[in-house]
Amino acid sequence: MNMNNETIQNLLMKVVDGLATAEEEAALQEAIRADGKWEQELRAYRKIKEVTDSMQLKDLPDSYWQGYWASVYRTTERGIGWVFLSVGAIILLATVGFVALGDFFMSSDVPLIVKIGVTAAGLGVIILLVSILRERFFARGHERYEKEVER
């Protein structure tokens, strides 16, 4: 059987991995008899497989995992807390706005489209206000020029 180098290398890998059929192993033995370099390749592949099979990932210490999960928990907890705080503040401010403008919204003289526009603009202002307050609160905990100053 006349095989090219790529085919023989594929057979070598199959034999080393234990996936070759009896016919493929016989074809590889024929290629080894025809050219001795394939026997050296087979030994090299087996050595590589032996080394890679004996490799193991190093276990990380428990302290690393405790820190990791505490960080994930803290980040998730704070994120959810900010979401609830923001939504609650928006609802409260929107309610105050509707109560303050109750006569405006109850008036039949004001067209519906104007009421919708005032509601949308009011909600937008409230959401932006809550967002800006949250960012200001967050920025207060960080140094303004921390990237520019070397210590």
Provide the residue count of the chain.
151
pLDDT interval class at 123 (50, 70, 90): very high
For residues 83 and 97, give the distance between their C-alpha atoms in angstroms, rounded to a whole number: 21
pTM (two decimals): 0.45
The yes-or-no verdict on residue 61 having pLDDT over 90 is no
Amino acid at 4: N
The yes-or-no verdict on residue 1 having pLDDT over 80 is no
80 in Cβ contact with 120 (< 8 Å)? no
For residues 128 and 135, give the distance between their C-alpha atoms in angstroms, rounded to a whole number: 10
Residue 123, judged by CB atoms within 10 A of its CB (0-12, 13-18, 19+), counts as: middle
Amino acid at 80: I
**Per-residue model confidence as pLDDT tens digits over 9-48:** 888 999 999 889 999 999 889 888 888 898 999 999 999 9
pLDDT interval class at 62 (50, 70, 90): confident
Of 44 and 149, the one with more pLDDT: 44
**Per-residue model confidence as pLDDT tens digits over 89-102:** 999 999 998 899 88
What pLDDT score was predicted for residue 79?
Answer: 85
What pLDDT score was predicted for residue 125?
Answer: 93
The yes-or-no verdict on residue 116 having pLDDT over 90 is yes
| Sign of the dihedral defined by the CA atoms of residues 117, 121, 127, 128, in that order | positive
What pLDDT score was predicted for residue 40?
Answer: 92
